[in-house]
Amino acid sequence: MQSTDDVLVSYNPANGDEIGRVRMTSCQELDRIVADARAAYRDSGWQSLLPHKRALILHAVADGLTAEKESLAKLQMRDNGKPMGECLGMVDSAVGTFRYYAGVCETLETDVTPSRGDYVSFTVLEPYGVVAAITPWNSPLMNDATKVAPALAAGNAVILKPSEDSPLLAPELMRIAREAGLPQGQLQVVQGRGADIGAALVEHPDVRMVSFTGGTVAGRVIGRTAGERLIPAALELGGKSPHVVFADADREHAIAAVVAGIFGSAGQSCVAGSRVFIQHDIYDEVLERIVERASALRVDFPDVDGVEMGPLSSLHHRRRVIDFVDRARTEGGRILCGGQIPDDPRFAAGAFYLPTVIDGLSPRSRTCQEEAFGPVLVALPFDDEIDLVEKANDTDFGLACGIWTENFKKAWRIGRALDAGSVWINTYKQSVTSTPFGGFKDSGIGREKGIDGLRLYAQVKSLYLGLHEQPMKIAK
């Protein structure tokens, strides 16, 4: 993405072609958009619509996404370079999310609480009003849906701010939602740089809740502003997830999962298993097989049949990955494969980078501590459970982890001991809308998905209904 003062230009990272332009939202426009969202929240009737009718419209959004699955997937593929198969999966995921929250919206029950006097007390959920949803570039439609569907289901008006690096999907979602019958103003999109329009959105006095997915640095800034303003902030942030292979693991499955867990989406996934911990006795053998597989991965254009890894999302993001690997070299890392741009001239204009595996580093090195958000795996040996837990938890992050062992009791112990919001035992990177997702430590605050993914966008109100037979007296 390059930009002039008020236009964002999106380039296909596979070949450098321009694929679209969007106008950046000015601060004056932001005021109008927030005012429209407030008006929609107050007057459109969306929040008072009976839940099963609101659910019908959410289902209609899912139908609209399904009808345009192919073209939406292609748009994402061109916008951020992910292989077409993955992009089709992302549309399916967005469809599933809208259907799931249609279901939750229709069936969610609130509580009648036990009485301690002459009254009945119960709780209801109220929307916040105008919610800001800020999303990153790696899986735009899927991340947008994870926020927009539950926030709408809870009755809010939503202002969606996509990344300046993937601005093309959010307007499509807004259009499809309008065509599905969502009232005007209930879902709007603002475009521009995070530090400008994103920050202005979070600071806007009429925005009453913010839901953010992105890096820890921006997450901290947003959390600080939300704290000052005393509005809730849900933060889904980065990771440096450990993927653990014990000596008793099913090696075939473990090695395949380690490779898929880091090189899927070219490593541009918050839950990428970017640190592989291999037990000492099998370290050399397993690492050699991982390197063999990584070197054989088919890096190609994202629309080619059989592609396993496409380009990175932009040339400037590739620059960050190149710098990351250069620093690993200066820290003393051994580059076992990759560590460079492919030399095939077909890829010259794209943001391609080879799958990279590094070892020989201290677990405290910056390479092992910081997120590359690219196809870079660091390998680390461990002796036993105690050594593993100490090393794997010795990071600021706590998003996810993978554990490979045939011993279930050990898997349980390690799964409980590691700092991670999601633990995958003998599998990796599974994600389902019905299961909560979020991070420990610097990987975030709050949980998206699941039934509580709707409660995230609602505030609890308690009501008391008097049943007094006698006039009330002042308590003595």
Residue ranges that bind ligand NDP, judged by CB under 6 A: 134-138, 161-165, 193-195, 198-199, 202, 213-215, 218, 221-222, 236-239, 270, 371, 373, 399, 439, 444
Smallest gap from residue 196 Cβ to ligand NDP (A): 8
- Strand 458-466 relative to strand 444-445, pairing: unpaired
Residue nearest to ligand NDP (CB): 194
Q: Which residues pair with 411 in a beta bridge?
A: none
When the beta carbons of 79 and 300 are compared against ligand NDP, the nearer one is 79
Residue nearer to ligand NDP on the CB measure, 44 or 369: 369
What is the nearest approach in angstroms of ligand NDP to the Cβ of residue 160? 10
Helix (H, G, I), strand (E, B) or coil at 124: strand
Q: Of 63 and 370, which CB lies nearer to ligand NDP in the complex structure?
A: 370
Cβ proximity to ligand NDP: between 8 and 454 the closer is: 8
CB of 439 to ligand NDP, least distance (A): 6
Q: Per the residue annotation, which of 270, 337, 368, 401 is the catalytic one?
A: 270
Question: Minimum Å distance from CB 258 to ligand NDP?
Answer: 19
Is the Cβ of residue 5 or residue 305 nearer to ligand NDP in the bound state?
5
Which tokens sit at 413? 């112990």
CB of 408 to ligand NDP, least distance (A): 28
Alpha helices (H) along 243-376: 251-263, 283-296, 315-330, 366-369
Which residues make Cβ contacts (< 8 Å) with residue 107, sequence separation at least 6?
A: none
What token pair was written down for 405? 């062992």
Nearer to ligand NDP by C-beta: 222 or 307? 222
CA distance 447 to 450: 8
Q: Is 292 a catalytic residue?
A: no
DSSP secondary structure string, 186-233?
SEEE--S-IIIIIHHHHH-TT--EEEEES-HHHHHHHHHHHHHHT--E
Give kind and range of the element (H or E) at residue 153.
helix 140-153
Distance CA 22, CA 456 (A): 31
Q: Is-contact 425 213, C-beta < 8 A?
A: no
CB of 466 to ligand NDP, least distance (A): 45
Instruction: Provide the minimum distance between the beta carbon of 394 and ligand NDP in the complex, in angstroms, as a whole number.
Output: 19
The residue annotated as part of the active site, out of 86, 429, 448, 449, is 448
Find the catalytic residue in 82, 147, 240, 449: 147
Nearest Cα to Cα of residue 408 among 243, 248, 253: 248
Q: Of the residues 86, 236, 308, 371, which is catalytic?
A: 236
CA dist., res. 239 & res. 341, Å (int) = 24
DSSP summary character for residue 309: B
What does the DSSP 8-state code read for residue 179? H
Provide the phi-psi class of 431: left if phi over 0, else alpha when psi is between -120 and 50, else beta.
Answer: beta
Q: Is residue 237 a contact partner of residue 443, using CB atoms and an 8 Å limit? A: yes
Q: Active-site residue 448, yes or no? A: yes
Token pair for residue 89? 């999966």
27 is catalytic: no
Measured from the CB atom, the residue of 132 and 414 that comes closer to ligand NDP is: 132
Q: Which of the residues are catalytic?
A: 147, 236, 270, 448
